[in-house]
Amino acid sequence: MLTAEEKKLICRFWDKVPQKDVFGAEALYRMFITYPQTKTYFPHFDLHHGSDQIRSHGKKVVTALDNAVKCLDNLGQALSELSSLHAYNLRVDPVNFKLLSQCFQVVLAVHLGTEYTPEVHAAFDKFLSAVAAVLAEKYR
């Protein structure tokens, strides 16, 4: 559970994140490089840095995160459709949600430096863990 203070911190920080689409694409690319097994779900993608497919999917990732930030009190409802899509249609290994979360945090830390304080990191870790858990709910 996110505390009221963590929710405020997440909302304030998320509003300050520049180039969210770029960060989403970089996180995906980082995941593909660091965890090559995740590429199996994207056989039709050009997985080179900066490809249109990675940029497009990165935008989808941050759009979902943006929606989740706006619905912190009801992540389950906000991400239900996305959870169903991944579980029933795409059949993505739910471990990948955690891997992408880790990569996204690395991208935030690299680009935002001192603004990505330990408090922000801890709050985003809880938030992204909650997002990953909601996305994995339909697998049970």
What's the pLDDT at 140? Answer: 66
Residue 41 lies in a domain: no
Phi first, then psi, for residue 3 (nearest 5°) are: -80, 165
CATH of the domain at 122: 1.10.490.10
Residue 112 lies in a domain: yes
- 46-105 pLDDT per residue, tens: 999 999 999 999 999 999 999 999 999 999 999 888 888 877 787 888 899 999 999 999
Measured N-to-C along each axis, helices 95-112 and 20-34 cross at an angle, to the nearest 10 degrees, of 120
- Alpha carbon 1 to chain centroid, angstroms: 18
What DSSP state is assigned to residue 47? Answer: -
**pLDDT-based confidence at residue 23 (cuts at 50, 70, 90):** very high
What does pLDDT average to over the chain? 93
What's the pLDDT at 93? Answer: 84
Q: Which domain holds residue 114?
A: 4-17+53-139
How many structural domains are present in the chain? 1
**pTM of the predicted structure, to 2 decimals:** 0.91
Residue 23 lies in a domain: no
Residue 40 lies in a domain: no
pLDDT of residue 29 exceeding 80 = yes
Arithmetic mean of pLDDT, 122-135: 95
Residue 47 lies in a domain: no
Which distant-in-sequence residues (6+ apart) come within 8 Å of 42 by Cβ?
32, 53, 57
- 91-121 pLDDT per residue, tens: 888 899 999 999 999 999 999 999 999 999 9
Residue 31 lies in a domain: no
Residue 123 CB burial class (10 angstroms; 0-12, 13-18, ≥19): buried
- Which one, of 48, 29, 53, 37, lies nearest residue 96 by Cα? 37
- Length of the chain, please? 140
What DSSP state is assigned to residue 6? Answer: H
Residue 10 lies in a domain: yes
